[in-house]
């Protein structure tokens, strides 16, 4: 599908009464939900990467209190964290997207990932297998996510991640996967400030950001730097409620966290030869001219940011 057609269609659906449900049905038939198993497997792989990144920084999953920003259609990360031994996993979304059938499908397919999960966290395979069996039985019977996970996994939607209402110092790790690129820049700052409030002393954020042009996944005639051709005013023609893209570059996500007082433990942002070549042949709009090419071309970043030993999360100049 041509990217302009997709953007225009999604923009119209965002205005229509009942547009959310129609968009979901289109995703099931033609979009990312059409091949559930493939998308699920990608998510599990992303979860393994997150666990490995955190482990490298001395941050386990087992016994931790976790907070996910952006639940999506089904809770792969929260359920995998539960099976891996997390103490608490809260998952929040601005809109309620999760569907019972997809939730059950997710839980069922996780049964094929028990060995992967155990290996990722150096856990006991049989213990995780037994936990999965109990979870699946309860979920099949009741459909209740919290009950099926012994109260460990909580789903809150709608919930604003900038004003969660949780008490201070409640969580050890806040994470997201392919979410921040869809959030307005000022809202990201507010999310970081709220993270400082609800994270316990020395708690961390892990964010995996896919900051390339997402229309390139449906239109093979363009690449992930394509959207840098346009000014913000031009880009609003195709930006929409279902695929909002802030076009922030990878380094900005990290620097904004650092500016608020986080200590950066990990930053994987790195230019690739392919992206540098693509950028060289792309007529970049003047508003991006001040960004060095080796930064401008980066389309993905994982980073870990630590709240530096504060029992009081207030930051000077930020309330």
Q: CA angle, corner 38, sides to 34 and 133, nearest 5?
A: 105
Tell me which DSSP letter residue 166 carries: P
Token reading at 209 = 């950001």
Q: Is 268 helix (H, G, I), strand (E, B) or coil?
A: coil
- Taking the C-alpha atoms of residue 65 and residue 173, their distance in angstroms, rounded to an integer, is 7
C-alpha pair distances (Å), 141 with each of 133, 135, 147: 12, 10, 10
Q: Rounded to whole angstroms, how far apart are CA atoms 44 and 117?
A: 9
Is the pLDDT at 314 greater than 70, yes or no? no
At a CB cut-off of 8 Å and minimum separation 6, what does 288 contact?
228, 296
Q: Which residues, including other chains, have CB under 8 Å from residue 76's CB and lie 6 or more apart?
A: 40, 43, 44, 47, 106, 110
Supply the angle between the helices 36-56 and 76-83 in degrees, to the nearest 10: 50
Q: Please tell me the predicted confidence (pLDDT) of residue 214.
A: 97
pLDDT at position 6 = 83
Tell me: pLDDT of 131 over 80.
yes
pLDDT of residue 73: 93
What pLDDT is attached to residue 27? 77
Quote the tokens at residue 77: 């990360």
pTM: 0.92
Q: Give the tokens for residue 24.
A: 């979901």
Tell me the pLDDT tens digit for each residue of 151-195.
Answer: 999 999 999 999 999 999 999 999 999 999 999 999 999 999 999
133 C-beta neighbours (distance < 10 Å), count: 12
Given a contact cutoff of 8 angstroms between Cβ atoms, the answer to whether 250 and 295 are in contact is yes
């Amino acid at each position: 599908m041509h990217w302009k057609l997709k953007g225009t269609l999604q923009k119209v659906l965002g205005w229509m009464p009942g547009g959310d449900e129609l968009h979901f049905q289109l995703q099931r038939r033609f979009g990312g939900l059409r091949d559930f198993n493939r998308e699920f497997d990608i998510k599990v792989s992303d979860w393994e990467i997150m666990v490995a990144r955190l482990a490298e920084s001395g941050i386990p999953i087992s016994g931790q209190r976790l907070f996910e920003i952006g639940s999506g259609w089904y809770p792969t990360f929260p359920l995998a964290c539960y099976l891996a031994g997390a103490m608490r996993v809260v998952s929040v979304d601005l809109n309620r997207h999760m569907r019972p059938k997809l939730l059950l499908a997710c839980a069922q397919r996780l049964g094929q990932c028990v060995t992967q999960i155990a290996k990722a966290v150096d856990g006991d395979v049989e213990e995780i297998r037994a936990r999965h069996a109990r979870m699946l039985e309860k979920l099949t019977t009741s459909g209740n996510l919290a009950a099926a996970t012994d109260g460990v996994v909580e789903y809150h939607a709608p919930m604003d991640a900038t004003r969660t209402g949780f008490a201070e110092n409640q969580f050890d790790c806040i994470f997201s996967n392919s979410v921040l690129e869809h959030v307005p820049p000022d809202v990201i700052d507010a999310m970081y400030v709220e993270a400082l409030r609800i994270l316990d002393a020395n708690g961390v954020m892990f964010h995996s950001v896919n900051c390339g042009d997402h229309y390139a996944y449906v239109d093979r005639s363009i690449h992930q730097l394509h959207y840098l051709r346009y000014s913000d005013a031009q880009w609003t023609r195709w930006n929409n409620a279902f695929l909002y893209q802030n076009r922030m570059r990878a380094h900005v996500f990290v620097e904004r966290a650092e500016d608020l007082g986080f200590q950066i433990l990990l930053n994987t942002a790195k230019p690739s030869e392919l992206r540098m070549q693509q950028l060289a042949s792309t007529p970049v709009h003047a508003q991006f001219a001040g960004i060095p090419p080796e930064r401008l071309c980066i389309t993905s970043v994982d980073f870990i940011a630590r709240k530096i030993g504060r029992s009081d999360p207030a930051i000077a100049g930020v309330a």
